Amino acid sequence: MTEKEKSYAEMLYQPGDPELAADRDRTVSRLYEYNRMNPLDREGRRKAIAELFGRVGSNCTVEQPFFCTYGYNIVVGDDFFLNVNGKLMDSGKITIGNHVMIAPNVCIITEEHAMDVEQRMAGLEYTHPVTIGDHVWICAGAMILPGVTIGAGSIIGAGSVVTKDIPAYSVAVGNPARVIKHYDPEKQTWVKI
């Protein structure tokens, strides 16, 4: 297996691999150009993001500055909005649904270093994919950690650190984030837990 294939399989892999290092260098160059583009050149920015990401739905907005690791591991649906200082650390796959809004200073992370000291000192790491469902709102300064799935219709409160899966139609806040409300379809309202 290549190091990239190992990373997708959530196995210990070497991110210093020459192929991966070259991919990151290409991404850094593209991000440098993207973040220097005229903010009013919305069509040019959309085109640049469509070339950087693995797949982009219609009406995708990624504000500047923006940072990602590779770009090609990011898939976003229709009507996606990522506000300023977004960081999508996509050594692993990041899949984001339709109608998702992400506020400023949000970080989504797929990689983690090895727990074993010798492996960590050798630079080895793992990746775990992150999945975000449709109609999710992630508020300012939230951090989504490796392996997390956020269910459709959920809200992640400002400054929250999401360490575990969040069920659909939930409001989660805190560090670590915990669900404090869920949507009751029978009552058609949010209910405190």
3-state secondary structure of 144: strand
Q: How far apart are CA 138 and CA 112, in angstroms?
A: 21
**Residue 181 CB contacts under 8 Å (≥ 6 apart), including other chains:** 170, 171, 190, 191, 192, 193
Residue type, 78: D
Q: Which residues are catalytic?
A: 113
Cα-flanking dihedrals φ and ψ of residue 61, to 5°?
-125, 125
DSSP category for residue 114: -
DSSP E strand stretches across the chain: 55-56, 60-62, 66-68, 74-76, 80-82, 86-89, 94-96, 101-102, 107-109, 111-113, 125-127, 130-132, 137-138, 143-144, 149-150, 155-156, 161-162, 170-174, 177-184, 189-192
CB-CB contact of 15 with 125 (8 Å): yes
